[in-house]
Structure 1
Amino acid sequence: MDETRSAIGSDHLLEEARVDADVFALRPDYRALLIVAEGIEPGPSDAESERLLSEAEASARKALESRPVEELPHVAAWREAYRAFGAKPQRTRNSLEALTRRAESGLPRVNRLTDIYNAISVLHQIPLGGEDADRYAGAPRLLRASGDERFDTVAGGEPVEEHPELGEVVWTDDAGVTCRRWNWRQGRRTQLTNETTSALFILDVLAPVDDDALARASEQLLSHLTRLGPSVHTAQRLIAAD
């Protein structure tokens, strides 16, 4: 496994993060860029996050003028990846597809931290998850599920515990699943809140997105994260197959 660390910090979430070989066997082109941002000052949506969301919405509308969502190159690649582990992409859409579809009529306005990463995801056409790093129990790991792992979610407005399907690709920590079906649905336990001051972001990439495109997305994300307080500092790590 080729693992590239940034020179900034050595947070245990990054140092100990893993992607299992079984996942790379499904998609050897898969890369995960993990970014930790600490020292964030929480705040509501603001003029800059509104500007970024509006830019993302316009970008999505332009991209969909000539083709449907499912034919956008990276969306199509993720649909193929979902089929490889038995998921039905027309029923459980990857986060990029779900956000791009929603962008046509308007992305949600949540808080400035969530707004930023949702907008970057749509603008750069990359699935991008954001979670509260302080709520992690151990480091993140991407693996094929045994089916016994716990997933803390909501159904019918009530908290419930579910389990992934056997062989499903999931992000986990020591306490259970943090995101099901690679980048479909995040759990409640590690979700961002209006009090989050330390966040973990995961950018999931398949071909045809190359490393230069991934770098552009991460650079824009970092530039917006660093304006969320005078003490914000970040670290990142790229995990890829040999």
Structure 2
Amino acid sequence: MHFQHASEIWRDFPELVPGVMSMAGVTADVHVDDRLANYGEIAAKRLATCSEGELPEIQAWRRAFSAMGLKPTRYRCASESLLRRFRKEGALPRLHPLIDLCNAMSLAYAIPVAVFDVSRISSCVEVRYAAGDETYVTFSGETEHPPPGEVVFADAEAMAHARRWTNRQSGHSAVRGTTSDVLIVAEALHDTARADVEALVAALAGEARDLWPVSPEPAVLTASSPRYNF
């Protein structure tokens, strides 16, 4: 299996920095409370001096959404949505230890982090412009078909695992209590994206090794080396 961004995405968004890793052996029976609190504290300190929309990480995604023809205050990247909820409610709902950890790190770094159940993916995941024949399944089980030109995470069977790039993941490949093998993708577009994404995936890999018997192999992709095999 492999993950990559299409050449057209690199062409249109040359500032893109994706961090990727896969893990086998994740379980839902670990405790992450202390780790979540640490990352939440980092996010709270950043939000104490400005709103999430003023963060450079979020501003970069807003510009990208505008470039895609999307209204950025209607369709927000995942990290902005998490920060917005965290600012209003002071906490995020608990879903699964790995998802909770990735959400907390997304808060701290203000970078979208997507997690996919590998068993629900066919052969590959490519971030590309939709052809119009892709199928997307919502968390409530409804089926949607992204319009041609929308940026999606698509597999070999044209299943869309995320819509509007970093806006919304699919319920089809969402992590469940029985999930064991996962693919994690963090993407950023701001000026210090490379250093920040490298730090994020390294920190996440370290946290994962402490929590589970896993051997994550994080990588930061580039236009000249865009493919991650897992």
TM-score for the superposition, normalised by structure 2: 0.90
Paired residues for 1:48-87 under 5 Å: 49-87=32-70
- In 2, the alpha carbon distance for the partners of 1:63 and 1:179 equals 28
State the identity as a percent: 28
Find the partner of 1:202 among 153, 175, 185: 185
Which SS does the other structure have where 1:22 is aligned? helix
How many residue pairs were aligned? 221
Match of 2:25 in 1: 39
Unaligned runs of at least 5 residues, structure 2? 225-230
- In 2, the alpha carbon distance for the partners of 1:229 and 1:66 equals 35
- In 1, the alpha carbon distance for the partners of 2:178 and 2:98 equals 11
Distance change >3 Å, CA 236–CA 60, structure 1 → 2: closer
Contact 2:19 2:198 in 1 (8 A): no
- In 1, the alpha carbon distance for the partners of 2:156 and 2:191 equals 32
Contact 1:133 1:200 in 2 (8 A): yes
Unaligned runs of at least 5 residues, structure 1? 1-11
- In 1, the alpha carbon distance for the partners of 2:217 and 2:42 equals 28
Q: CA offset at residue 142 of structure 1? A: 0.7
Find the partner of 1:95 among 58, 78, 97: 78
Q: CA offset at residue 92 of structure 1? A: 1.3
Contact 1:53 1:107 in 2 (8 A): no
- Flag as ranges the 4+ runs of structure 1 deviating above 3 A: none
- In 1, the alpha carbon distance for the partners of 2:215 and 2:52 equals 35
- In 1, the alpha carbon distance for the partners of 2:222 and 2:55 equals 23
Paired residues for 1:112-131 under 5 Å: 112-131=97-116
Q: CA offset at residue 42 of structure 1? A: 2.6
Match of 1:235 in 2: 217
| CA distances 1:26-56 after superposition (whole Å, capped 9, x unpaired) | 2101122210011223326x2xx21222223
Which SS does the other structure have where 1:216 is aligned? helix
Mapped pair 1:224 → 2:210: no
Compute the RMSD of aligned alpha carbons. 1.6
